[in-house]
Amino acid sequence: MRLVLWLILLSFSSCLFSQTLDDIGKIVVGVKVLPNSSVETKNNKDFLKNKLINLATQAGFSSYGNSTFLMVPAISVHDIQNAEGGMKNIYVISGELYLTIQENDAGTVFSSESFSFRGSGVSKEAALKNGIQNISYGNMKPFFDEAKSKILDYYSAMQDKIFANADMLVKNKDFDAAISCLLSIPEDLFDLYEKAFSKACQIYQERDEYIAEQRAIKKREDNNAVLVKARSFLSCHDATGAMKVLWAYSMSGTEQDNEYYNLLTKAEAIITSEEQALLAKEQQEYEERRLKEERDYADSRQEYADKMNYMNRQLELENKKADNQKEMVQAVKAVALEYMKSKMVNN
């Protein structure tokens, strides 16, 4: 089972540099500034986003993926003072940061709190950012703990719907979305996560079989197009054209191969020696290009295998460390990263 899930991970390896294994199995939260927010909130949207994501990361959340849950901030400034500070005046701002963590669609609130701040700077903007930056994780930990506890209860209550949704996605052949749906369940819910993990393995295998089937169908269709075109050339007594077309045929181990050989034999029987000589050089160049493509593909497969071996070694080290600490070995982590990245909410 571990190998299968590593294959899931590798099939979305293009996202590995934006999301690490440590992010997988965590509750994903995003940041959203509401349209009716204060001017101070809107003007500091990016700053707030970076600050809140940093705090959420410290609390064990992740910010990568399609955010089911959102941190919604609102800044309220209570007082602004201007004090002399040597060569430049210093602004001192006091206020509060109101923050909620809520479900994206329904708006269900899991935690809500306000945090007082006081900051100084050579401008109002700098003073405001300084005040918000001074809000520490230690002060916010209970806020995040409450949200996490309630969100875990939410997933426990929603598990039947999550599995049903995954089944529907599989039925629609949207395997990546189904895997992503299942592995959105936090690993803190260990038994439920293991159940989802096992289901994801089954879906991946079905996905793999479906992809192989689709490739076989595509190959058969492409070969059939080659054979039809070759027959057309031969009906016009154009052996050179027919042989060029047949170069693109891919042996399939089916009855199509018999027709390929029949057409090739017919073309060879009517092509002239002069045409054959001219064709030989062109065919060699074509075969060289095809061999290069095959070598490139083989190299990519070797790189794939190297990555898998590396990740398996990393997993072994991780498991040994867990054994030494007498902790429960963390389930192998995998997710449809490419899918998640493409569906990320742009907050």
| Predicted confidence (pLDDT) per residue in 79-113, tens digit | 999 876 666 788 999 999 999 999 988 889 999 99
Q: What is the pTM of this model?
A: 0.68
| Mean per-residue pLDDT over the chain, rounded | 81
Q: Which range has the worst mean pLDDT, 59-63, 173-177, 283-287, 320-324?
A: 320-324
The fraction of the chain above a pLDDT of 70, given in percent, is 75
- Which two three-digit tokens encode residue 5? 């899930």
Q: Is the pLDDT at 316 greater than 80, yes or no?
A: no
CB count within 10 Å of CB 230 equals 26
| 196 occurs within a structural domain | no
| Predicted confidence (pLDDT) per residue in 208-223, tens digit | 899 889 999 999 999 9
Most distant CA atoms of the chain, gap in Å: 100
Residue bearing the bigger pLDDT, 290 or 318: 290
- Mean pLDDT calculated for residue range 70-87: 86
Residues 212 and 279 in one domain: yes
| The pLDDT of residue 44 | 93
| 39 occurs within a structural domain | yes
Which amino acid, residue 190?
F
Residues 151 and 214 in one domain: no
| The pLDDT of residue 271 | 85
| 216 occurs within a structural domain | yes
Chain centroid, CA 13 distance in Å:
8
| The pLDDT of residue 227 | 95
What's the total number of domains in the chain?
A: 2
| The pLDDT of residue 183 | 86
| 136 occurs within a structural domain | yes
| The pLDDT of residue 303 | 60
Following DSSP, what letter does each residue of 323-344 receive, concatenated? Answer: HHTTPPPPPPP---HHHHHHT-
SS3 134: coil
What are the contacts of 171-179 at 24+ separation with CB within 8 A? 173/210, 175/203, 175/204, 175/206, 175/207, 175/210, 176/12, 176/207, 176/336, 176/338, 176/339, 177/336, 177/339, 177/343, 178/203, 179/8, 179/203, 179/204, 179/207, 179/334, 179/335, 179/336, 179/339
Distance in angstroms (rounded) separating the CA atoms of residues 45 and 71: 12
Residues 221 and 140 in one domain: no
| 199 occurs within a structural domain | no
Decide which of 126, 157, 188 is a domain's last residue: 157
The residue segments making up the domain with residue 102 are: 11-157
Q: Is the pLDDT at 340 greater than 70, yes or no?
A: no
| 231 occurs within a structural domain | yes
| The pLDDT of residue 320 | 52
- Mean pLDDT calculated for residue range 252-257: 87
CB count within 10 Å of CB 269 equals 8
SS3 126: helix
